[in-house]
Amino acid sequence: MKNEGEAAKRPDNTAFTQQRLPAWQPILSAGIVIPSFLLIGLAFIGIGIGLFLTSQTIQVWEMDYTGVEKDSPCFRCTILSNQNCTCEVIFSLSTLFTGPVFFYYGLSNYYQNFRKYGVSKDYYQLAGDTGYFKNPEAYCSPYAYDSKKNPIVPCGAIANSIFNDTFELYQIINGTKKQVPLDGKGISWWTDYNIKYRNPSPVNGSFAKSFDGTVKPINWPKPAYELDLTDPNNNGFLNQDFLVWMRRAALPQFRKLYRRITDGDYAAGLPAGNYSLKVHYNYPVLSFDGRKKVVFSNVSWMGGKNDFLGIAYLVVGSLCVIMSVVMLVVYAKFKFSDDDEAR
Amino acid sequence: MEYPKLYEPGQLNLLFNKREFFICIAQGIYTSVVLFFIPYGVLSHATQSNGVPLADYQTFAVTTATALVIVVSVQIALDMGYWTAINHFFIWGSLGTYFTILFAMHSSILFNIFPKQFHFLGDARNTLGQPVVWLTIALATIICIAPVLAFRFLKLDLKPQLSDTVRYTQLVLQKKRNALGRLGRGRSRRSGYAFAHQEGFGELITSGKNMRLSSLALATFASRHSSSWIETLRRKKHANNTQNTPPTGEDSAASSQGPPLSTSSSAAGEAGQACNEPVLTHSPDDIALSVIRCPEREVGESSTRTVQVNIHLKTSSSRNCIQINCMQVNIHKYRLLYNTGQRVDSVGAQKLILWIDIKRTFPPRRKNGRKQNY
């Protein structure tokens, strides 16, 4: 028998409590799946063609200058164990290399993604916190203190292994060499340059004094405050080459941006002709079977040359179209055989 | 408990057993391989439009992580069959939360407080602003999801499960209801969460026949029994709580050789009912179908009319089974119980249509030790 108590215990008769919320019930019907596969397939084929064609218009030129073979120009730099070896590589471009041209250096068999290597840096030091200059991070060892127990700034294996080959590019015109200006501004990430890496404040007006009591990394030729004496905005921890190097690469074969060729006579690109690349060969890679190369490339809206993306899109697009046809055949065959059976 | 048969897959452990587990593992391995190697292949040679290479560790990480979250969200969306506002909120919300947290962790505010922990500064904005990265993510998503979609569609088409049939039925129902103009938009207000079914659908499923309405059935139905019982319906429509439920049966027999048996399924709910008002008889080939309407009776505050459906198969046999498939549409609120000892109740219905596809098959496979004998 009904009473008010029983009625009071009843749950609310709202849409939410009675599970009557309005809902959308999609169902995988043939009318949705097959056309959508076809659409996706065609869209991907279109995108793939666009990407592939764009990628084909990009020019890339690369050259390995490690000097492994005896007849290569830089071979003598590999056997000489002294510093300041320079070698000269002559090459020629057959067509105009449209600008702006980007100049990369590439390394292979170089594992910047190794875990112990990757954590070996001190973020506080690099953010300009002098409190950590005298007490480098424990992760930096064995590159935290030198043999005399002096703290190293900037500590760590990443900073210590900075790439220190330098290049000069000359165009050979009628036997004379004309230097191609290389622009090294803004080659690192904006956030790296402006926020993440900060120089320590100068002490008594001298930038070098803020590094007192510390020593340079073991493999560096010069300390951090002498990386670029001509430009204070490129000195110390704000040095663009330093920042580019500190941004770890993900794969054992990588390229890092070295310079851009955008100025002067070469703003439109590198004209066809003979060129000479002068390498100040300082970086030893043969001990771990690594290789060094230089790469020239131009870019488009999608970046550098990337055949993989275009081809992958084309392949996936065609597979989608094929799958949609197969599904249509299966569906139609099944439907009509079904109706025949029903008779 | 509208469809009790739907509890069976759970009880029989059909939905999560060793085979399903290994299929899940295989799909996980495939997705992981795709989610690593597609960004690997693309980013190893990619640069930004300002020439800076994209092959650094942090860009790679953000690309892979974002692709992962998106692929997983799409997979969840595929699995969801019933999207209420809550579902929308949580799915889109989880994607939004991911991007919010990503940008927060890569912001300069947190970096200035904890430089060592939040050293991915500027990564999210830098990476996700590159068109190449989004193209990579879209590519990885399609490669991961398209096989799943194709597989599911084919499975739904060729071997629909019981729950799929029921869901389809409910959708068709609600579409017909909307066609009558009751709801402005195609949204289901029926409870879709818990529904149960009885044996009728079981045969439909195990016979391998799918749930599409046979066009022949539609045609024959439309041509025949048009006016008489519709008029009856209209008359009865305004009576409170009592509706006529004249069933129409249409059978399509499959090849007719062999065995059979004489089955009559009758409504035996009420003993002592004098059900002898035949509404319809139909006997093509070797099947005689007759529908007999029993008189109305009052039960509590509603009155019901029961119907007895007799199916006689003329040929005889000793072995195999007959499977009777049944489908109903155009029913507003109904409870259909089929086979022996059960009743058809229809409250507020305009039409009750029974398609009875009688297909002689070999004895069904003993999937889980169940036998279907009549």
Q: Which residues of A171-185 are buried (b: 16+ CB within 10 A; e: fewer)?
A: beeeeebeebebebe
Token duo for residue A78: 């590999």
For B267-303, write each residue's pLDDT tens digit. 333 333 445 555 556 555 555 556 666 555 554 444 4
Query: Taking 60 as the threshold, does the pLDDT of residue B89 lie above it?
Result: yes
Please tell me which of A7-11, B64-68, B84-88 the model is most confident about, judged by mean pLDDT: B64-68
Residue in A104, A323, A334 closest to B157 by CB: A334
> Lowest-confidence range among A111-115, A139-143, A184-188, B342-346?
B342-346
Chain B interface mutation, best of A308, A315, A325, A333, highest count of B Cβ atoms under 10 Å: A308
- C-alpha A48/C-alpha B135 separation (Å) is 10
Cα distances (Å, whole numbers) of residue B131 to B40, B46, B166, B227: 16, 11, 44, 64
In order, the DSSP letters of B160-213 are --HHHHHHHHHHHHHHHHHHTTS-SSS-B-S--SS----HHHHHHHHTT--SPP
**pLDDT the model gives residue B295:** 59
DSSP state of B363: P
- Residue-averaged pLDDT of chain B: 65
Check B42 against A309: CB less than 8 A apart: yes
Q: Residue A156 has which token pair?
A: 């760590």
Which pLDDT belongs to residue A238?
93
B51 → closest Cβ in A37, A299, A305 = A299
Q: With pLDDT > 90 as the criterion, what percentage of chain B qualifies?
A: 24
Q: What percent of chain A has pLDDT over 90?
A: 53
Query: Can you read off the two tokens belonging to residue B263?
Result: 């089955």
Enumerate the β-bridge partners of residue B327.
B355
Distances in Å between the Cα of A176 and the Cα atoms of A91, A171, A179, B363 are 15, 8, 10, 94
B96 pLDDT higher than 80: yes
Say which residue the tokens 């989610």 belong to: B35
Which residues are within 8 A (CB) of B362 and not within 5 positions of it... i.e. 6 or more apart?
A: B320
Give per-residue pLDDT as tens, A109-166.
Answer: 999 999 999 999 999 999 988 888 888 888 888 888 888 889 998 999 999 999 999 9
Token couple for A332: 């139609």
Contacts of A30 in chain B (CB under 8 A): 153, 157
List the single residue in B132, B139, B216 with the smallest CB-CB distance to A303: B132
Q: A132-136, B3-7, B172-176, B267-271 — which is least confidently predicted?
A: B267-271
Higher pLDDT, B201 or A339: A339
For residue B66, the tally of other CB atoms under 10 A from its CB is 23
Instruction: Find out whether A126 and A319 touch, Cβ atoms under 8 Å.
Output: no
Q: Cβ–Cβ of A251/B146 closer than 8 Å?
A: no
- Mean pLDDT is lowest, of A334-338, B141-145, B178-182, B323-327, for B323-327
Cα angle B200, B204, B208 (rounded to 5 degrees) comes to 160
Tell which residue, A303, A181, A287, A198, has the closest CA to residue A242: A198
From CA A242, how far away is CA A161, in angstroms rounded? 10
Q: Which residues contact A36 (CB under 8 A, 6 or more apart)?
A: none
Rounded to 5°, the CA angle A157-A160-A166 comes to 135
φ and ψ at A98, to 5 degrees? -65, 140
Distance between CA atoms of B257 and B362, rounded to whole angstroms?
12
The percentage of residues in chain B with a pLDDT greater than 70, rounded to a whole number, is: 48
Q: d(Cα B142, Cα A184) in Å, to the nearest integer? A: 40
Question: Is 70 exceeded by the pLDDT of residue A337?
Answer: no
Chain A residues with CB-CB distance to B45 below 8 A: 304-308
What is the nearest CA distance from B188 to chain A, expressed in angstroms? 6
Is the bond preceding A142 in cis, omega lying within 30 degrees of 0?
Answer: yes
At A80 the pLDDT is 66
**Strands B249-251, B354-360: pairing kind:** parallel
Structural tokens at position A129: 């916190």
| Separation between Cα atoms, residue A16 and residue B85, nearest integer Å | 10
> Residue range B226-236: average pLDDT?
50
Interface of A with B in 88-117 (CB under 8 A): 100, 102, 104, 112-113
Confidence label for B330 from pLDDT (cuts 50, 70 and 90) = very low
Q: Which of residues 8-37 of A touch B (CB under 8 A)?
A: 18-28, 30, 33, 37
* Residue B368 pLDDT > 70: no
What does residue A243 show for φ and ψ, rounded to 5 degrees?
A: -65, -40
Tell me how far apart the alpha carbons of residues B146 and A316 are, in angstroms, rounded to a whole number: 10
pLDDT score, position B235: 58
Per-residue pLDDT tens for B124-150?
999 999 999 999 999 999 999 999 999
pLDDT, one tens digit per residue, over A233-266 is: 999 999 999 999 999 999 999 999 999 998 888 8
Task: Identify whether the C-beta of residue B43 lies closer than 8 Å to the C-beta of residue B54.
Answer: yes
Contacts of B279 (CB under 8 A, 6+ apart): B229, B246, B247, B291, B292, B293, B307
pLDDT band at residue B159 using 50, 70 and 90 as cut-offs: confident
Q: Is pLDDT above 50 for B310?
A: yes
Look up residue A192 and give its DSSP letter. I
Helix (H, G, I), strand (E, B) or coil at B343: coil
Q: What is the model's pLDDT at position A7?
A: 75
Long-range (24+ apart) CB contacts under 8 A made by B38-42 are B38/A312, B38/B67, B38/B136, B38/B139, B38/B140, B38/B143, B39/B63, B39/B64, B39/B67, B39/B136, B39/B140, B40/A251, B41/A308, B41/A312, B42/A306, B42/A308, B42/A309, B42/A312, B42/B132, B42/B135, B42/B136, B42/B139
The confidence score (pLDDT) of residue B165 equals 79
Write down the pLDDT at residue B293. 60
pLDDT-derived band at B236 (thresholds 50, 70, 90) equals low
The answer to whether the beta carbons of residues B138 and B74 sit under 8 Å apart is: no
> Which residues of chain B are within 8 Å of residue A42 when distances are taken between CB atoms?
none
End-to-end alpha carbon distance in chain A: 55
H or E segment and range at residue A126: helix A123-126
Tell me how far apart the alpha carbons of residues B304 and A188 are, in angstroms, rounded to a whole number: 82
pLDDT value for B282: 58
What value does the mean pLDDT take over residues A165-176? 92
Residue B296 CB contacts under 8 Å (≥ 6 apart), including other chains: B242, B303, B304, B305
Q: Find which of B79, B153, B189 to mutate to test the A interface (most A CBs within 10 Å of its CB).
A: B153
Q: Which of A132, A100, A139, A134 is nearest to A118 (CA)?
A: A139
Q: What is the pLDDT of residue A242?
A: 94
pLDDT of residue A61: 93
Between positions 111 and 170 of A, the ones with CB within 8 A of B are 112-113, 118, 123-124, 127, 129, 137
Query: Which chain A residues have a beta carbon less than 8 Å from that of B85?
Result: 21-22
The pLDDT value given to residue B261: 31
CB contact under 8 A, B115 and A299: no
Q: Is the pLDDT of residue B52 over 50?
A: yes
**How far is the C-alpha of A93 from the C-alpha of A238, rounded, in Å?**
34
Angle at A45 between CA A39 and CA A49, to 5 degrees: 150
Query: Tokens 């990885």 map to which residue?
Result: B140
Instruction: Dump pLDDT digits (tens) for A212-223.
Output: 889 999 999 999
Residue A9 has pLDDT above 50, yes or no: yes
Which residue has tokens 């000793």? B318
Residue-wise DSSP of B78-112: HH---B-HHHHHHHHHHHHHHHHHHHHHTSHHHHH
**B50 neighbourhood in chain A, CB within 8 Å:** 186, 299
Contacts of A44 in chain B (CB under 8 A): 139, 142
Whether A178 contacts A170, CB under 8 Å: yes
Q: Specify the pTM.
A: 0.70
Pairwise CA distance, residues B291 & B99, whole Å: 62
pLDDT of residue A265: 85
**Residues A194, A200, A202, A207, CA torsion sign:** negative
Which residue, chain included where needed, has tokens 């064995």?
A142
Mean pLDDT of B324-331: 37
| pLDDT, average across residues A42-67 | 94
